[in-house]
């Protein structure tokens, strides 16, 4: 078996771009929202993030190689891995940002983020021991539909807008990606489609610039130099005795749960694509990577990325993961995270990520029984609501107002309360609704009732649907009967399904 295959080049480009985007978000948002200096981000946070990324990438590359040897296959694709985007945004805007606004202390804000990262790592490690049970009791449609919802909205649609905002540079690379991966077109000299797409977009951008028809690719200021990761064990140990992190437990716990469920979904997606990885070591490596990030200065959890089928369809195998870890680490340690954007326009690389989002969505429908397609469609709805709320909030912020100010003016035309309710815990809601649909289609009314009662319990404690809308925006609401109307509705649905189940049993026994 070959350690390196041609598809690993395409896989490397896709995963590198994905990881690079997370690093750019950190470099851009942390100074603006949390008050961190650029030097602190480049010298402390990014080296810690690089260490966690390289450790995880090496483990998943080794795990893929071991599975390939065990099964005698040369088509095993390693799990993609990197910084969790959702946790990154949540920790910046909902934990570190508020601490900085309250205290004006960037170091305290950073410590609150480190504390959140440590707790997320703990949840991921615990999830490693209950993950197989969760996978057994959860229908595949429930796992894949919630994953597809994230893929088609938060991954694909944002990139679609960027692509069509700059079609002169971005559209041809997209067509190359679709032709190479979707149409299986062999490109000249056998060059990978991902590499050709990036080269074509870069050449177009610079050609337009030299003709006076566009600006040259530009990136944030560079901070070149040697920035090695340094341990912060003392900070981590002392965090459990400070109130600055504990007060945000209502945000930390859902993010940890999201990471565990998201990792399970990624494992389910990989299995549907033909690669079954063991749950416990996969999640343990995920949790330990998050611990490594926190202990060396990065407040951002790592996770298994959604998109394994996309990288597999590119022909990537195992080397792409190891190469990504090495290159990302070098870029961070040298302080050159944004150097590539001074040469390669971002639009030239977006086609790869768009392909990954689209193929994940397609897989959700292709890899479940035909009768379960309705469950996949229903499972997309909460993600669509969450994405719509993001657009609404972004628009309001751009106009100088807040959601709390605008919400009373929407009335029945937008039903903003329903949009917010669906947004809260939308991953869990997606899984629950899809699971209920699967068991209804299969006429397993007792199991459908179990999921309905689970939804009643989750909404009762605030894991789904519960929220508070204030000047800071939408915040989680936890406590007894946090969302009483939803809890009552789900409980009533569970009772109804239980009655149907008992009636069906009585009829079957009579016949």
Domain ranges of the chain: 7-167+218-346, 371-505
Do the bridges between strand 467-470 and strand 302-304 make them parallel or antiparallel, or are there none, so unpaired?
Answer: unpaired
In the numeric block, which tokens belong to residue 293?
């990030």
For residues 205 and 203, what is the distance between their CA atoms, to the nearest angstrom? 6
- Looking at the chain, the whole-number percentage of residues with pLDDT higher than 70 is 93
Instruction: Give the pLDDT score at 247.
Output: 64
Per the structure block, which two tokens stand in for 453? 């009662």
Going from the C-alpha of 463 to that of each of 141, 241, 255, 480, 507, the distances in angstroms are 21, 26, 11, 11, 37
- Return the minimum-mean-pLDDT range out of 110-114, 189-193, 240-244, 414-418: 240-244
For 58-96, how does the pLDDT look when each residue is reduced to its tens digit (9 = 90+)?
A: 999 999 999 999 988 888 999 999 887 767 877 887 788
H helical segments located in 273-349: 279-295, 308-314, 319-333
| Terminal alpha carbon distance of the chain | 58
Query: Mean pLDDT across the stretch 454-468?
Result: 91
Angle subtended at Cα 367 by Cα 363 and Cα 370, rounded to the nearest 5 degrees: 115
Rounded distance between C-alpha atoms, residue 503 and residue 486, angstroms: 26
pLDDT digits (tens, 9 = 90+) for 115-134: 888 888 888 888 888 766 77
For residue 244, is pLDDT > 60? no
How many Å apart are CA 10 and CA 413, to the nearest integer?
45
Q: pLDDT tens digit string along 375-389? A: 999 999 998 998 899
**Average confidence (pLDDT) over 483-509:** 94
Q: What pLDDT, in 10s, does the model give residues 17-37? A: 778 877 877 887 888 888 898
Read off the pLDDT of each residue in 494-508 and give the average, rounded to a whole number.
Answer: 94
Question: pLDDT (tens digit, 9 = 90+) per residue, 289-323?
Answer: 999 999 999 999 998 887 788 888 878 888 899 99
Closest CA to 376 of 142, 92, 201: 142
Nearest to 47 by CA among 331, 288, 339: 331
Instruction: Say how far apart CA 171 and CA 312 lie, in whole Å.
Output: 23
Q: Where do the H-state alpha helices sit in 273-299?
A: 279-295
Query: Token match 């340690």: residue?
Result: 333
What average pLDDT does the segment 278-297 reach?
Answer: 90
Model confidence at 153: pLDDT above 60? yes
What lies within 8 Å, CB to CB, of 72 at 6+ separation is: none
Q: Averaged over 404-413, what is the pLDDT?
A: 83
Predicted TM-score of the model (pTM): 0.75
> Do 317 and 76 meet the contact criterion of CB atoms below 8 Å apart?
yes
The DSSP call for residue 216 is P
């Amino acid at each position: 078996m070959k350690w390196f295959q041609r598809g690993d080049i395409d896989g490397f480009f896709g995963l590198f771009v994905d990881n690079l985007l997370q690093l750019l978000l950190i470099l851009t948002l942390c100074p603006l929202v949390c008050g961190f200096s650029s030097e602190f981000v480049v010298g402390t946070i990014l080296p810690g993030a690089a260490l966690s990324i390289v450790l995880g990438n090496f483990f998943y590359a080794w795990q893929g190689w071991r599975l390939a040897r065990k099964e005698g296959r040369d088509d095993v694709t390693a799990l993609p891995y990197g910084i969790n985007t959702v946790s990154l945004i949540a920790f910046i805007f909902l934990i570190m940002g508020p601490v900085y606004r309250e205290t004006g202390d960037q170091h305290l804000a950073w410590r609150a983020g480190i504390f959140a990262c440590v707790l997320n790592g703990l949840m991921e490690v615990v999830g490693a021991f209950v993950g197989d049970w969760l996978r057994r009791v959860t229908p595949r449609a429930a796992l894949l539909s919630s994953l597809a919802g994230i893929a088609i909205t938060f991954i694909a649609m944002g990139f679609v807008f960027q692509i069509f905002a700059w079609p002169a540079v971005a559209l041809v690379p997209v067509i190359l990606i679709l032709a190479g991966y979707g149409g299986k077109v062999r490109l000249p000299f056998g060059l990978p489609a991902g590499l050709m797409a990036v080269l074509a977009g870069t050449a177009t951008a610079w050609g337009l610039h030299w003709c006076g028809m566009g600006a040259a690719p530009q990136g944030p200021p560079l901070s070149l130099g040697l920035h090695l990761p340094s341990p912060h064990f003392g900070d981590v140990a002392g965090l459990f005795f400070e109130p600055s992190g504990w007060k945000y437990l209502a945000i930390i716990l859902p993010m940890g749960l999201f990471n565990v469920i998201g990792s399970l979904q990624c494992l389910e997606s990989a299995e549907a694509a033909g690669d079954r990885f063991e749950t416990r070591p996969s999640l343990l490596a995920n949790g330990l990577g998050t611990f490594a990030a926190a202990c060396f200065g990065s407040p951002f959890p790592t996770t298994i990325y959604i998109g394994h089928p996309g990288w597999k369809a590119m022909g990537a195998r195992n080397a792409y993961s190891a190469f990504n870890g090495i290159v990302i680490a070098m870029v961070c340690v040298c302080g050159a995270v944004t150097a590539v954007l001074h040469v390669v326009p971002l639009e030239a690389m977006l086609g790869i990520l768009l392909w990954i989002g689209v193929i994940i969505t397609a897989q959700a429908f292709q890899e479940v029984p035909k009768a379960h397609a309705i469950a996949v469609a229903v499972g997309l709805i909460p993600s669509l609501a969450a994405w719509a709320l993001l657009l609404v909030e972004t628009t309001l912020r751009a106009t100088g107002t807040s959601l709390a100010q605008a919400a009373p003016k929407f009335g029945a035309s937008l039903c903003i309360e329903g949009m917010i309710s669906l947004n809260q815990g939308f991953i869990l809601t997606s899984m629950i609704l899809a699971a209920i649909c699967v068991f209804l289609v299969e006429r397993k009314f007792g199991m459908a009732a179990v999921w309905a009662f689970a939804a009643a319990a989750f909404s009762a404690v605030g894991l789904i649907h519960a929220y508070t809308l204030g000047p800071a925006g939408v915040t989680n609401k936890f406590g007894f009967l946090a969302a009483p109307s939803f809890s009552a509705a789900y409980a009533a649905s569970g009772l109804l399904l239980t009655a149907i189940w008992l009636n069906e049993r009585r009829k079957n026994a009579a016949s």
